[in-house]
């Protein structure tokens, strides 16, 4: 099933700032500049921030969020593009701050429904976007323009400049947006690392923007609850090198594929310790290929192992770099831990390094993988107070304060974070001297008005639902589908196969009930026989009068669902299958015999005929 769901009723506010008076909101006027988020507020992921003036919309980032465990069968969560579709006649340009999935993952879905004039993105993000669009055969669907800190973007109403920031991926940028009503700065994802592995942040440019005056700042809130400064990426690299020097057996290192600086440091440490490297995991392979092509990874081909060479290379000369640091079920490390990987079997004495921290919500999955690795005899190392095996790419409290002091905004809007993070960032901003009434903790869909260098809350709201994507198409996973999946997971399925003769208006034989995931058939013969009689009696009563296929299905559900709940206190999905043919008698008899023997019913024995939507006589 390839589809998504769009709830037409509009998204409810995920949070309301209790310090604000909802009656003081302003109506929008023609010359106002509007600022709103379609994703990224009240959540970590699917970042998408829009700036609108008259007939132009400047979009910053178009990300996805990965689904929680309760969203069964959902691949991605993306923003609701309905407002942009409604305003398709307006000129729209997309600017990307960096190449992480929560900032670029939604681009293919956006391009399918919204007219985008061009995408402007830094070099590494361009390479990742090209790969993504190439896989979907969408390379010609939009113009992709590379930018850097010296670039500028000029529209009729917006002029953008860019500045370098430090993050866990190369070529991350912040944006200065000049509008007819004032200046806006959005930081993108950032941290301050005084000894970075890649480029340094443009401190002087940030300070200069603060001197010339910034009306509104949008700043990364992910680590608002973390005190002090984050540790440097170089300290992590040194820790990994020290561990590799001390380790005598085989090394398996799991990290975020997108953190190319970390991947590069791991590969260089392996080479320095005389180890050959092999990469597992599709996303890791893609990033390493792109990183080497762009010169971000400077490890030569002679230091890599092929699959054929892996089994003949000594364990102490091998380093495996793979995906799965978040316990993803299908990632390389999870398959290694489960013993299902095609090429790697754990050996007692292997050392597994998690160069990552669990994303909120992934802790249980990571712990499960760690336990399996320990059971297989591996030595597992994770980030702790004793080991600096990971550092964040997001600013902690003191770094957030530094950004606020450099930019010196009149107004502040914390972005990129759950409500708790936005609120903590607001408190940090108050500490730096920004007046409480000048700080806006918004939800997706809330609109701010920039008017003559002042910021107001708008009474106008934009629908900003979550869109649930199953596959790649945008043709509709509804909440009803998700509800059915949840029922199937919790209560199972009951199919009721009924043979009727519509000409004689009668049921030809007792129904056959088949259960999957509801009860164990061999142990529940009495229950199923009783259920068959209840349905049979209800159908006979119903068919004493003229009726329709729809009426018969409702009769089956209306009689069977209460009975099953009373007996089991469970509500399985009940699916009536009506076969309108006398020749079905023999198939029904075979199906019942097979069920009694506890065997699976052959599909060709109970294949329903096409229903004719006519009244049974």
CB within 8 Å of 532: residues ≥ 6 apart: 510, 511, 512, 513
75 is in an annotated binding site: yes
Active site residue 149: no
In 3D, which of 114, 123, 64 has the Cα closest to residue 94? 114
Crossing angle between the packed helical segments 260-272 and 282-293, to the nearest 10 degrees: 80
5 is in an annotated binding site: no
466 is in an annotated binding site: no
100 is in an annotated binding site: yes
391 is in an annotated binding site: yes
Q: Which of 53, 394, 465, 466 is catalytic?
A: 394
103 is in an annotated binding site: yes
53 is in an annotated binding site: no
Strand 48-53 with 33-39, pairing: antiparallel
429 is in an annotated binding site: no
Any bridge partners for residue 163, and if so which? 174
Dump the DSSP string for 372-429. Answer: HHHHTT-EEE---SS------SS--HHHHHHHHHHH-EEEEEEESB-HHHHHHHHHHH
Q: Which of 61, 220, 350, 465 is catalytic?
A: 220
327 is in an annotated binding site: no
303 is in an annotated binding site: no
257 is in an annotated binding site: yes
390 is in an annotated binding site: yes
CB within 8 Å of 286: residues ≥ 6 apart: 131, 257
425 is in an annotated binding site: no
193 is in an annotated binding site: no
In 3D, which of 90, 48, 27 has the Cα closest to residue 444? 48
Crossing angle between the packed helical segments 123-135 and 282-293, to the nearest 10 degrees: 130
98 is in an annotated binding site: yes
17 is in an annotated binding site: no
569 is in an annotated binding site: no
Strand 573-580 with 48-53, pairing: unpaired
CB distance 43 to 32 below 8 Å:
no
DSSP-assigned letter for residue 77: E
Strand positions, DSSP E, 288-332 = 318-322
Active site residue 308: no
Q: For residue 182, what are the CA distances in angstroms to 70, 215, 453, 454?
A: 43, 6, 5, 8
User: Which residues are part of a known binding site for Zn(2+)?
Assistant: 98, 100, 102-103, 167, 189, 416
Binding residues for substrate, by number, are 257-259, 390-394
> From the annotation, which residues make up the binding site for Ca(2+)?
73, 75, 470
Query: What residues act catalytically?
Result: 220, 394
Q: Summarize the annotated binding site as residue ranges.
A: 73, 75, 98, 100, 102-103, 167, 189, 257-259, 390-394, 416, 470
């Amino acid at each position: 099933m390839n589809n998504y769901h769009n709830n037409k009723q509009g998204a409810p506010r995920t949070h309301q700032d209790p310090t604000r008076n909802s009656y003081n909101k302003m109506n929008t006027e023609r010359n106002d500049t509007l600022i709103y988020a379609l994703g990224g507020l009240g959540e970590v992921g699917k970042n998408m921030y829009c700036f609108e003036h008259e007939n132009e919309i400047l979009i910053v980032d178009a990300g996805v969020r990965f689904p929680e465990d309760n969203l069964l069968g959902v691949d991605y969560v993306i923003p609701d593009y309905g407002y942009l579709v409604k305003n398709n006649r307006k000129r729209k340009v997309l600017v990307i701050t960096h190449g992480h999935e929560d900032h670029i993952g939604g681009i293919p879905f956006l391009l399918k429904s919204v007219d985008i004039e061009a995408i402007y993105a830094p070099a590494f993000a361009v390479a990742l976007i090209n790969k993504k669009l190439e896989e979907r055969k969408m390379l010609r669907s939009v113009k992709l323009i590379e930018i850097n800190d010296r670039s500028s973007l000029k529209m009729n109403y917006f002029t953008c400049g860019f500045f370098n920031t430090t993050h866990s991926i190369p070529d991350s940028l912040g944006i200065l947006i000049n509008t007819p009503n004032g200046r806006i700065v959005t930081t993108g994802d950032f941290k301050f690392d005084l000894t970075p592995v890649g480029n340094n942040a443009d401190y002087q440019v940030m300070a200069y923007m603060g001197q010339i005056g910034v009306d509104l700042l949008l700043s990364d809130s992910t680590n608002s609850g973390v005190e002090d400064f984050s540790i440097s990426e170089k300290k992590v690299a040194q820790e990994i090198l020290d561990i590799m020097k001390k380790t005598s057996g085989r090394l398996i290192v799991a990290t975020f594929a997108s953190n190319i600086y970390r991947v590069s440091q791991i590969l260089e440490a392996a080479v320095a310790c005389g180890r050959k490297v092999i990469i597992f995991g599709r996303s890791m392979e893609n990033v390493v290929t792109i990183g080497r092509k762009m010169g971000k990874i400077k490890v030569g081909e002679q230091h890599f192992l092929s699959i054929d060479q892996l089994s003949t290379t000594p364990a102490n000369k091998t380093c495996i770099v793979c995906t799965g640091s978040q316990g993803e079920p299908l990632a390389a490390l999870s398959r290694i831990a489960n013993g299902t990987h095609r090429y790697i079997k754990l050996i007692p004495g292997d050392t597994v390094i998690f160069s990552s921290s669990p994303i909120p919500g992934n802790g249980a999955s990571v712990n499960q993988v760690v336990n399996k690795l320990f059971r297989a005899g591996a030595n597992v190392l994770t980030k702790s107070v004793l080991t600096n095996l990971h550092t964040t790419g997001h600013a902690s409290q003191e770094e957030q304060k530094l950004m606020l002091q450099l930019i010196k905004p009149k107004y502040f809007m914390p972005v990129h974070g759950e409500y708790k993070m936005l609120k903590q960032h607001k408190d940090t901003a108050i500490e730096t001297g920004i007046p409480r009434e000048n700080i806006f903790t918004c939800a997706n869909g809330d609109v701010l008005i920039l008017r003559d260098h002042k910021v107001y809350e708008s009474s106008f709201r934009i629908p900003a639902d979550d869109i649930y994507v199953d596959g790649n198409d945008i043709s509709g996973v509804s909440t009803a589908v998700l509800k059915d999946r949840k029922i199937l997971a919790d209560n199972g399925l009951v199919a009721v196969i009924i043979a009727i003769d519509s000409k004689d208006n009668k049921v030809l034989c007792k129904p056959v009930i088949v259960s999957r995931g509801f009860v164990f058939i061999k142990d529940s013969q009495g229950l199923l026989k009783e259920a068959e009689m209840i349905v049979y009696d209800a159908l006979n009563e119903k068919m004493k009068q003229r009726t329709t296929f729809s009426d018969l299905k409702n009769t089956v559900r209306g009689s069977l669902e209460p009975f099953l709940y009373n007996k089991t206190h469970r509500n399985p999905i009940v699916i009536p299958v009506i076969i309108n043919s006398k020749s079905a008698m023999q198939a029904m008899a075979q199906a019942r015999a097979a069920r009694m023997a506890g065997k699976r019913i052959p599909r060709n024995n109970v294949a329903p005929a096409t229903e004719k939507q006519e009244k049974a006589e």
